[in-house]
Structure 1
Amino acid sequence: MSMKRKVQKGFTLIELMIVVAIVGILAAVALPAYQDYTTKGKVSEASSLASTAIRNAQVMFNEGALAGGLSNAAFGLDATPTNINGKYVASVTAAGVDATTATITMRMRATGNSSVDGKDIVYTVTCTAGASCKTSVGGDVASKFMPKT
């Protein structure tokens, strides 16, 4: 009488545990990166809402109309900052600082990230006669989420 050996079918428990461990490690690394990526996408809404005010500040400088004390209406925006909003931007406030500088401030909301929600992104437009206007970005939003200029 000969004994036949059964061929193993399927995976052993240790093989399955190794695969689960690898998937867990990959998920632990990927999830925070994905959350940061989605937050950056939400913050990018500020750039699009600021673009009109930035362009108008540059035009006002070229026409000699940029001055300190100017507000939204002078920049061609709705006079009430909260009327200029989006899904993640609560308000947009434009202000003339002086004859060469303007600031555009966006208050962020509803991104699901405490480093962004309730904080401001501030674009500063600085113009030089005979040259061009430069825009820099600042504010109190965490730097890794700050939009580029």
Structure 2
Amino acid sequence: MKRVQQGFTLIELMIVVAIIGILAAVALPAYQDYTTKGKVSEAASLAAVAIKNAQVMFNDGTLTNGATNADFGLDATPTNISGKYVKSVTAAGTGVGTATVSMEMQGTGNALVDTKTVVYTITCTAGQTCRTTVDGTVASKFLPKT
């Protein structure tokens, strides 16, 4: 009489555990990058008002060098504009038709992001719309797309 196999052998179980370990080793860093990128995207939300107001200011002729947070419709104190992962927001006119909005990051748990900045540069030209680019000291793989 033949005996029917019941269950798995030890080697089969070890192979399954090894495969799961390899998959986890690949997936975990990708997931951490994904969540960090989501945290950095908070900067885009906080910059949106200043970017929109820069376009309005350009159309009104008031987007000039020396424009401050208050001119952009933001709180005059940069640290009063913050979120869970953004420490402060500073908007500044950098010339006729140009401005920057800088955000300092905090609390993301990633050294490539914490205490670094995300900087939106708004450039407006007559007869055209304003163009926004994003840069900063945050690692480029985490920066939001414009």
TM-score band, normalised by shorter chain: over 0.9
SS in 1 for 2:95: coil
**Identity percentage of aligned residues:** 73
Across the aligned residues of Structure 1 and Structure 2, the Cα RMSD in angstroms comes to 0.6
1:59 to 2:56 alignment: yes
Aligned counterpart, 2:18: 21
Structure 1 runs not aligned, ≥5 long: none
Aligned counterpart, 2:36: 39
Q: How many residues align?
A: 146
Q: Deviating runs (4+, > 2 A) in structure 1?
A: none
1:83 to 2:80 alignment: yes
1:16-74, Cα deviation, whole Å (9 max, x unpaired): 00000000000000000000000000000000000000000110000001110111011
1:12 to 2:9 alignment: yes
Aligned counterpart, 1:128: 125
Structure of higher CA gyration radius: 1
1:84-128, Cα deviation, whole Å (9 max, x unpaired): 000000000000001110000000000110000000000000000
Structure-to-structure mapping, 1:108-123, within 5 angstroms = 108-123=105-120
Between the aligned partners of 2:134 and 2:4, the Cα distance in structure 1 is 66
Which TM-score applies when normalising by structure 2?
Answer: 0.98
Aligned counterpart, 1:148: 145
Between the aligned partners of 2:41 and 2:73, the Cα distance in structure 1 is 22
Which TM-score applies when normalising by structure 1?
Answer: 0.96
